[in-house]
Amino acid sequence: MTLTLAIETSCDDTCAAVLDGEQLRSNVIASQGVHDAYGGVVPELAARQHVEAIGPVIADALRRAGVEADEIERVAVTRGPGLVGSLLCGLQTAKAFAAPRALPLIPVDHIHGHLLSARLAQTPPPRAPHLVLVASGGHTLLARVDGGDPRVERIDLLGRTLDDAAGEAIDKGARLLGLGYPGGPALAHLALQGDPHAYELPTSARVAGLDFSFSGLKTALLYVVRELNDDELNARRADLAASYQHAVVETLMLRVERALACSGLEHVAIGGGVAANQRLRERLAELGCGLSIPAREFCTDNAAMIGVAAQACRPVAYPDHLRLDAYGTGQGPIR
């Protein structure tokens, strides 16, 4: 087996993992609390936090894996898409780790990582061909993954969001309801106390095919909230959270069901931060098809999924990898 150090710094989590082949030996995630006060990620602050955290996070990942730095045989790193300042911190660190040892470096696409994160599932790993739903703060898409080595070229994009990502819609809705950032966990928690049918919010069912749209939902919530005074909002906050979560989950489910019906696929895998949502996980279980659901720590950003996707990517030899550059939001092979 080959010992891989994987690094992920595309947004606001500083992550490192050690894998032996596809076998995960350690997975360390340092989340940045500095953005909470701003209600969203501040790119400049994120990059500075990564610079401070990346060394200790890698040291911790090696220690937990029981591996010395000199035993690592290759380095996998997220190249994009994401915040370029954040990505560069991870990419330059990966080069600095690999160069003195003349190790190969494996550049990995962040979405490729989310697409294959179900290989780290507690439930059975997905059998190909299968459907994958990725729903995160930056991306929402449906794809078909065929058998063999799931290289980026073999991933067939079936649908994508036409506007906001599911996680972005959740965060914006949570913000309208006065919940903190990121809004997903807080919204899901509050939704437990509310009635999901109290408000009928749109699921963009009229958008035909397998593309998603969340902008109408966000606007619909804004119109409801605008009509409420502070006391009314306090009284209805849980109902609004439950109704909003219901609309996001049903928007996703409608496309998953359509994709299963038109593709004939019988197995669904999920990934991305929104895949941590309990209601979505329950609704998927009701489908009755094969399911691969990663543990929550592998849904939100993590380096373990980058190490797994690296198995399907081409390594770049030293010193050629020193020329690799990061790519930003909206770029890369999966769009």
Query: Least Å distance between CB 73 and ligand KG4?
Result: 28
- Judged by beta carbon distances under 5 to 8 A according to partner kind, the member of Zn ion, ligand KG4, none in contact with residue 53 is none
d(CA 309, CA 202) in angstroms, rounded, equals 35
Query: Least Å distance between CB 84 and ligand KG4?
Result: 15
d(CA 265, CA 212) in angstroms, rounded, equals 20
Interface positions with Zn ion (CB under 5 A): 136, 301
Q: Which is nearer to ligand KG4, 104 or 271 (CB)?
A: 271
- Judged by beta carbon distances under 5 to 8 A according to partner kind, the member of Zn ion, ligand KG4, none in contact with residue 26 is none
Backbone phi, psi, residue 241, to 5°: -60, -45
Closest CA to 331 of 12, 78, 131, 136: 78
Burial 221-234 (b: 16+ CB within 10 A, else e): beebbeeeeeeebe
Query: Least Å distance between CB 164 and ligand KG4?
Result: 10
Q: Which is nearer to ligand KG4, 110 or 267 (CB)?
A: 110
Coil vs helix vs strand at 185: helix
Q: Which is nearer to ligand KG4, 167 or 196 (CB)?
A: 167
Q: Which is nearer to Zn ion, 57 or 265 (CB)?
A: 57
Query: Least Å distance between CB 105 and Zn ion?
Result: 20
Q: Residue 295 burial (CB < 10 Å; 0-12/13-18/19+)?
A: middle
Query: Least Å distance between CB 175 and Zn ion?
Result: 19
Query: Least Å distance between CB 245 and ligand KG4?
Result: 7
Cis omega before residue 185 (within 30°)? no
Q: Which is nearer to ligand KG4, 228 or 296 (CB)?
A: 296
In three-state form (DSSP H/G/I as H, E/B as E, the rest C), the secondary structure along 232-261 is HHHHHHHHHHHHHHHHHHHHHHHHHHHHHH
Hey, which bits of the chain come out as E strands? 3-8, 13-20, 23-31, 74-80, 105-109, 130-135, 140-145, 155-160, 267-271, 290-292
CA angle 213, 309, 272 (to 5 degrees): 30
- Judged by beta carbon distances under 5 to 8 A according to partner kind, the member of ligand KG4, Zn ion, none in contact with residue 184 is ligand KG4
Q: Which is nearer to ligand KG4, 150 or 167 (CB)?
A: 167
Interface positions with ligand KG4 (CB under 6 A): 11, 136-138, 167, 170-171, 182-185, 188, 272-274, 276-277, 300-301
Q: Are residues 48 and 9 in contact, defined by beta-carbon separation less than 8 angstroms? A: no
d(CA 323, CA 303) in angstroms, rounded, equals 22
- Judged by beta carbon distances under 5 to 8 A according to partner kind, the member of Zn ion, ligand KG4, none in contact with residue 183 is ligand KG4
Query: Least Å distance between CB 59 and ligand KG4?
Result: 23
d(CA 149, CA 167) in angstroms, rounded, equals 29
- Judged by beta carbon distances under 5 to 8 A according to partner kind, the member of Zn ion, ligand KG4, none in contact with residue 194 is none
Q: Which is nearer to Zn ion, 4 or 136 (CB)?
A: 136
